[in-house]
Amino acid sequence: MDSQDATEKRIEEFVKMGFTNKEMADMLDISVTTLKRIRLSLGIRKKDVTSVVTDAELDECVMAYVQTNPTDGEVMLKGALESKGVYVTRERLQKAIKRVNPEGVEERKRTTLKRREYCVPGPNALWHIDGNHKLIRWRIVVHGGIDGYSRIPVFLKCSTTNTSEQVLKLFKEAVHEHGLPQRVRSDKGRENVLVCDYITQHALRGPGRGSFIAGRSVHNQRIERLWRDVYKSCLSTYYTLFYQLEDNGLLDICDEVDLFCLHYVLIPEINHRLNSFKETYIHHKIRTAGNKTPLQLWTASMCNGFPMISLMSMPLDEDETAADYGIDHLDEANEEDDAIIVNIPETNALSGNQLQELTANFTPNQKFRDANEACEYYKIVRDFVKALQ
């Protein structure tokens, strides 16, 4: 692909991301006039980006998303549609939401959110990492990391272990995909110690410069805000369903077989939902960031030279300390005990032969239409495993 073809392809991608002519011209290092001429010659108009979908088809897409994410609003919904290649105007989307979910519109009008101040120079300047324990009752933990500048979730994974080895594995995978962050902020949980060792001993980072910042959870605002959306859009569904299974006598948290079967069926399902959430999240617009999406914030900065941040050791400003970096002193209302250690016992229920028989009859990583179908599958697997005992 020659340079001109590459430029034309990038323009098409940037238009789909919603960048303005001025922003695209700056990223491509060309004049706005040149950009407009290229767009005119290629026939790339903003209105051409919108998808050719009927109102009925749009309503069907909106209904499918609302059914699995009933608490999400317009911005997250738009991000979900765009992540699947469906682009519609805001006016059409708002009308579709009102047709499909008028009660949800009224409910969200009554909801307010306190915004927080935050400032880091660019992508990979600071990552926030943490573990979410909303499903810890069922020996399930979600580990996550988010880029503080762009709000892109660099990793988001559900598992049955809360070890430092697991966190380091996810962190290294994120570094391979997104690059090495300048600094990492976390709480004081022991599961983060290997990440601390990794970045403070890294040849491009090292100790004595705030490479790893451990503090109170209340200061880890980016990831704490992400957890709110993760729970609302994803984990709350399983939280409710797991309790329903307990109430119906179909799940006993003291029964190793029940927990094993729950993990066998639902862990892949939850991770599938988390991946879908990530794709939706990077396409949703952020009001406090000039209505840019996380993907736009990341892309624009990278096009303006920020890839080099991974290759340099950037010092803090003279008036900053590592302990204060990437937090907001105006919002410290919630005190949490960061010294709590969350250990997850290993679930051992089947012998090697029994596990082989299970996998031969029930394919791991099965995909389901929704969480309810996954729970029905869990019941079948549970009955099968009980019969093996």
pLDDT in tens, 309-327: 555 556 565 545 566 666 6
Residue 222 one-letter amino acid = R
Share of the chain above pLDDT 90, in %: 42
Q: Where are the domains of the chain?
A: 3-42, 55-111, 126-304
CATH number belonging to the domain at 126-304, selected among 3.30.420.10, 3.20.20.80, 3.40.1010.20, 3.30.1360.30: 3.30.420.10
Cβ-contact 328, 118 below 8 angstroms: yes
- Residue 334: pLDDT band with limits 50, 70, 90: very low
Residues 150/294, Cβ–Cβ less than 8 Å: yes
Q: What is the pLDDT of residues 58-92, one digit of tens each?
A: 888 888 888 888 878 788 888 888 888 788 888 88
* Per-residue confidence band for 332, with pLDDT thresholds at 50, 70 and 90: very low
Average pLDDT over residues 295-317: 71
Integer distance in angstroms from the first to the last C-alpha of the chain?
Answer: 60
Three-class SS of 311-363: HCCCCCCCCCCHHHCCCCCCCCCCCCCCCCCCCCCCCCCCCHHHHHHHHHHCC
In degrees, to the nearest 5, what angle opens at C-alpha 112 toward C-alphas 110 and 113?
160
- Contact, 369 vs 377, CB < 8 A? no
pLDDT at 57 (0 to 100): 86
| Per-residue H/E/C for 240-253 | HHHHHHHHCCCCCC
Query: 271-292: b or e for each residue (b if 16 or more CB lie within 10 Å)?
Result: bbbbebbbebbbbbbeeeeeeb
pLDDT of 335 strictly over 50: no
Q: Is the four-CA dihedral 24, 30, 31, 33 of positive or negative sign?
A: negative
Q: Report the distance separating Cα 367 and Cα 182, nearest Å.
A: 37
pLDDT for the residue 253: 94
Residue 42: name the closest of 8, 74, 67, 14 by CA.
Answer: 8
DSSP per-residue letters across 116-145 = -----SSTTS-EEEEEE-TTGGGT-EEEEE
Q: State how far the Cα of 146 lies from the Cα of 10, in Å rounded to an integer.
A: 26
Q: In this predicted model, what pLDDT tens digit does every residue of 370-381 receive, in sequence order? A: 888 999 999 999
> Which residues make beta-bridge pairs with 157?
143
pTM beyond 0.85: the answer is no
Q: Looking at residues 110-135, what average pLDDT do you find?
A: 81
Average pLDDT, the chain: 84
pLDDT at 307: 56
Instruction: Give the integer Cα–Cα distance in Å for 300 and 24.
Output: 8
Q: Comparing 22-31, 68-77, 255-264, 338-347, which segment has the lowest mean pLDDT?
A: 338-347
